[in-house]
Structure 1
Amino acid sequence: MNRVLQRVIATFALLFSVSVIAEGDLAIEITQGIDEPTPVAVVPFSWDGSFALPEDIAQIVSDDLGRTGLFSMMDRRNMLSFPNKRDQVYFRDWRVSKTEFLLIGRQLPSEGKELKVEFELYDVLKEQQLLAERVSGSQANMRDIAHYISDMVYEKLTGVRGAFSTRIVYVTAQQFGGGKGRYRLKMADSDGARPITIREQSEPLMSPAWSRDASKLAYVSFESGKPAIYIQYLATGKREKVQSFRGLNGAPAWSPDGNKLAIVLSKDGNPEVYVLDLRSRSLARITHHYGIDTEPSWSPDGQSLIFTSDRGGQPQIYRIHLPTRQLERVTYEGNYNSRGRLTQDGRFLAMVHRGVDNVFRIAVQDLKTGRLDILTDTFLDESPTIAPNGSIILYATQKGVRGVLGGVTLDGGVRFILPASSGDVREPAWSPYLQ
């Protein structure tokens, strides 16, 4: 088995070992794509077994690539043939149909419920093979295999590492009247499929955050009647309560090394940013101001924190260098900027931005040039989170009277919505790459 895929499947197996409740999928709806997407055809993979397979790998790959908005996927009904080997491919036919890239594959039975999947990617215009690989897995892991193939194809065609084999977490809320509600912390594939409930309770849940190794979540729960921070171990279902102080305990953010949490506490009066060492349980106060300091997030190198503060009169984003405590204001454009999140290269800052129209939208600022671009045109956008490859920002927004998740590429060229079958969806957090 390909070693990278083997690690991915092993990680998913651990994630699914938690006692969970299955839920309805989120359904991605593309609302805007680029003007000239690249034509790609994913031919149905052949299957030599004597029984039906539970998943259609080729269709999952086609859906993955199509949802990016970068590719125009050929409908199977328009395909003139269904090759599964190189000698069955007639490039002239695919050129006539204006296909630029062609993916073919074979599914072969192995021992027990195992199967082998061979796939090949071709440049139709050049009649050149770009990828050829064999991977193995069980029938239960066919979606993982499909997402892995999608990652390989995406990287080959764009030069950017794919993020289909990642996970998202989010909070759903249902209100029943009389002040009663139901809150669920849920986890799903990056495309919203295979959702499971990690935590369910009648008190609010908020601010989920992934550890860098994707083995743990930190989040805020009001189950004791006041906000407290918990750490959830995904492989075992074990959870532990982080030190709970008087007043506000919120906004946890993992350090890149996984040994610390940046948190917001009001135990000394105003909300301030602290760093909690999870090994020694020592607590360091980072900010000192009579204003509100909140929503910390780490720089990729772990040397700085960005956070939201109204110390200048209105919420803006600041950065503090931890070794020196040197402070700088990062955002100036607009009368409100909050919930800053950095891409993994540290260059781009996603945020909630309010400009002259007084509407909350998702924006991104290039920290090298200072340029700020507004990416969304929806309403009441909040809680941005960035895919580990820096390609897409996922965020919470409103569609009608319901909270849903929205997505937008970093350049604003592609937009989509992920409505849920029931309840409001909020507080998304995108996992790191699964190691």
Structure 2
Amino acid sequence: MKRPFTILLLMLLAAPAWSLTIQITGGTEGALPIAVVPFGTAGSGEAPMFNLGEIVASDLKRCGRFRTLDEKDMVAKPNVGTQVDFKDWRALKQDYLVVGQVTPSGDSYQVRFELLDVNKGQQLLGYNMTSNARDLRSTAHQIADMIYEKIIGEPGSFNTRVAYITAKGETTVNSQIALQVSDSDGFNPQTIVSSHDPLMSPAWSPDGRRIAYVSFELDQPSIYVQDVFTGKRTKVASYRGINSAPAWSPDGKKLAMTLSKDGNPDIYVYDLDGGGLNRITNHFSIDTEASWSPDGHKLAFTSDRGGKPQIYEVSAGGGEPRRVTFEGSYNARASYSPNGKSLALVTQSSGGYRIGLVDLANGSMQVLTDGRVDESPSFAPNGSMIIYATKEGGKGVLAAVSVDGRVKQRLSVQAGDVREPDWAPNVK
């Protein structure tokens, strides 16, 4: 049965505000062996409620580029580099070793860590950091980012956030729908908006301060922009008919959106500074789900102008669109990679809706996932992973896959459903 792509905009599943957990379900062949020793605690102050080393190890493991050593297999647990006997770790076939120590100091913590090259027997990184209790998890993610960048040679994306839609309740009366934000590993969930009415299409601004989204308050879909830190929100579009699928321009000054105020759903670009509205497409078909290219010059969008949903690309100033996807009868919900060389999208494959990756240079597509209903792909800021929504055990969950399809993850919750993830930019 054909599944209209417009329905994807209206499907809302949900999730309670429990923390998400990562489960690696794919292989780690070719991953770099690294041992992250649980961080020690020095001094007489109160130790943290969690071990920073364990968070660092979890981050490195879930990215798929590293193979972490189980704690039970460690022959020693040094906290500083001077305590390390490198031959022990060479015997365990480890390429890298991370050691660290946390020292409580009044209302804050002093965190020291070292990254060591096991084969060369030398230090690659060594930092002292100060953190309050609230930001200790963020500090651990920063450490993982520094380790990732030092070894891989590109920025990490661990100390970032993810926005998603959650809901509880099975009727309109008892439904609780929320726009939530969490750390990239699912911890520290924060409710940004809560409503009994549908919420959808969260989209981060490039500065990581604001989220655009659609709310059906008063039974009318409207596009809002909300400051994550102050809570201030502004209604951007509330025209007659459809107001949906907001997408930020790379400079944060414009929003692409789908409006039907002039008839059929088309792509428009709204100027957030001046309030001007520019119609980009004008066709009797349905044009929706715009995504900006990283340079801000082009928009990719979904259209059924050829009879079935496919991805098209058009100049951000308007013009004649060109078709991008030719493999498969259904391709929708495209998202540009950070380097602009590929598109992640939803494609119909082997009877299911799965996440695919299209090479814009030659048009070839690689199917990355194997779910029945995989939707809403969003790239990590460094382009190494794609987060998406899927179904598992009859409920909506979040998952992630590496861009080569080799490493797959599940981000599960205790109960409920969760949908429409959007990975925040990596803002220093």
- Bin the TM-score by the shorter chain: over 0.9
Partner residue of 1:358? Answer: 351
1:97 is matched by which residue type in structure 2?
L
| Secondary structure at the counterpart of residue 224 of structure 1 | helix
Partner residue of 1:433? Answer: 426
Per-residue deviation, 1:178: 6.7
2:82 is matched by which residue type in structure 1?
D
Query: Which stretch shows the higher mean deviation, 236-245 or 328-337?
Result: 236-245
Partner residue of 1:396? Answer: 389
The question of 1:62 aligning with 2:57 is answered yes
* Contact 2:388-2:421 at 8 Å conserved across structures: yes
Q: How does 1:34-73 map to 2 (within 5 A)?
A: 34-50=28-44, 51-73=46-68
* Contact 2:280-2:317 at 8 Å conserved across structures: no
Counterpart among 220, 229, 232 of residue 226 in structure 2: 232
Partner residue of 1:86? Answer: 81
| Secondary structure at the counterpart of residue 103 of structure 1 | strand
* Contact 1:375-1:411 at 8 Å conserved across structures: yes
Per-residue deviation, 1:87: 2.2
Matched positions, count: 412
Counterpart among 404, 418, 422 of residue 411 in structure 2: 418
The question of 1:184 aligning with 2:178 is answered yes
Q: In structure 2, how many angstroms separate the alpha carbons of the residues matched to 1:226 and 1:374? A: 36
1:406 is matched by which residue type in structure 2?
A
Partner residue of 1:379? Answer: 372
Partner residue of 1:331? Answer: 325
* Contact 1:251-1:294 at 8 Å conserved across structures: yes
* Contact 1:54-1:139 at 8 Å conserved across structures: no
* Contact 2:64-2:402 at 8 Å conserved across structures: no
Q: In structure 2, how many angstroms separate the alpha carbons of the residues matched to 1:205 and 1:411? A: 32
Q: How does 1:212-291 map to 2 (within 5 A)?
A: 212-291=206-285
Partner residue of 1:139? Answer: 133
| Secondary structure at the counterpart of residue 162 of structure 1 | coil
Compared CA separation, residues 324 and 277, structure 1 to 2 (3 A): closer
* Contact 1:342-1:350 at 8 Å conserved across structures: yes
Per-residue deviation, 1:156: 1.8
Per-residue deviation, 1:141: 1.0
Q: In structure 2, how many angstroms separate the alpha carbons of the residues matched to 1:326 and 1:125? A: 57
Q: How does 1:80-119 map to 2 (within 5 A)?
A: 80-110=75-105, 112-119=106-113
Q: In structure 2, how many angstroms separate the alpha carbons of the residues matched to 1:268 and 1:149? A: 51
Q: In structure 1, how many angstroms separate the alpha carbons of the residues matched to 2:395 and 2:64? A: 25
| Secondary structure at the counterpart of residue 78 of structure 2 | coil
* Contact 1:55-1:142 at 8 Å conserved across structures: no
| Secondary structure at the counterpart of residue 380 of structure 1 | coil
Structure 2: give runs of 5+ residues left out of the alignment: 1-15
1:72 is matched by which residue type in structure 2?
R
Q: In structure 2, how many angstroms separate the alpha carbons of the residues matched to 1:218 and 1:244? A: 13
Q: In structure 1, how many angstroms separate the alpha carbons of the residues matched to 2:70 and 2:115? A: 17
1:121 is matched by which residue type in structure 2?
L
* Contact 1:319-1:327 at 8 Å conserved across structures: yes
Per-residue deviation, 1:323: 4.1
Per-residue deviation, 1:54: 2.5
1:358-404 alpha-carbon deviations (Å, 9 max, x no partner): 32100001112322100001111111111010011111111021011
Q: In structure 1, how many angstroms separate the alpha carbons of the residues matched to 2:103 and 2:127? A: 13
Per-residue deviation, 1:224: 1.6
Query: Which stretch shows the higher mean deviation, 30-39 or 194-203?
Result: 30-39
Q: CA RMSD in A?
A: 1.5
Partner residue of 2:198? Answer: 204
1:314 is matched by which residue type in structure 2?
K
Per-residue deviation, 1:175: 3.0
Partner residue of 1:3? Answer: none
* Contact 1:33-1:70 at 8 Å conserved across structures: no
Query: Which stretch shows the higher mean deviation, 335-344 or 237-246?
Result: 237-246
Q: In structure 2, how many angstroms separate the alpha carbons of the residues matched to 1:56 and 1:141? A: 13
1:90-132 alpha-carbon deviations (Å, 9 max, x no partner): 111111122221001122344x312221211111112122111
Per-residue deviation, 1:44: 2.0
* Contact 1:165-1:434 at 8 Å conserved across structures: no
1:425 is matched by which residue type in structure 2?
V
Of all paired residues, the percent bearing the same amino acid is: 49
Per-residue deviation, 1:341: 0.4
Structure 1: give runs of 5+ residues left out of the alignment: 1-21
